[in-house]
């Protein structure tokens, strides 16, 4: 069953707290992505991972970092979250960059 999972689905944090968003996929895709989606701005690429420990900045990496120690898992970390990081975060995976399979999203609110 081809699936991308994200945990948690909803998260409320206070400004300055650390945030960990987790993503998993069961398709053995080597490429994984983190996006954020805000009204009127579409999907913006934060980071792309080409495989384990092979990560590259996307268009808006400032304030974020990622970790990929296993092919099936990709984490997004916000150190000292800011209110402007309130957003919906999507993880996706793909085989060699073709069709991207998206997770259900995590709605993060930073107060």
CB of 70 to other proteins, least distance (A): 19
Which residues are 36's β-sheet partners?
A: 44, 89
Omega cis (within 30) before 73: no
Comparing CB distances to other proteins, the nearer of 51 and 80 is: 51
Q: Which of 42, 53, 62, 70 binds other proteins (CB under 8 A)?
A: 42
Q: Which of 50, 67, 71, 86 binds other proteins (CB under 8 A)?
A: 50
By CB under 8 A, residue 102 contacts other proteins: yes
Contact (Cβ atoms closer than 8 angstroms) between residue 4 and residue 103:
yes
**x/- binding map, residues 10-39, to other proteins, per CB under 8 A?**
---------------------x---x----
Helix (H/G/I), strand (E/B), else coil: 37 = strand
CA-to-CA distance for 76 and 64, rounded, in angstroms? 7
């Amino acid at each position: 069953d081809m699936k991308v999972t994200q945990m948690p689905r909803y998260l409320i944090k206070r400004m300055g707290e650390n945030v960990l968003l987790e993503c998993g996929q069961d398709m053995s895709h080597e490429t994984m992505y983190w996006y954020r989606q805000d009204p009127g701005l579409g999907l913006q690429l934060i980071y792309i991972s080409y495989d384990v420990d092979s990560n590259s900045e996307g268009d808006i990496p400032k304030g974020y970092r990622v970790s990929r120690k296993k092919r099936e898992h990709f984490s997004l970390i916000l150190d000292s979250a800011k209110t402007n990081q309130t957003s919906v975060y999507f993880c996706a995976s793909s085989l060699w960059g073709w069709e991207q399979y998206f997770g259900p999203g995590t709605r993060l609110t930073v107060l």
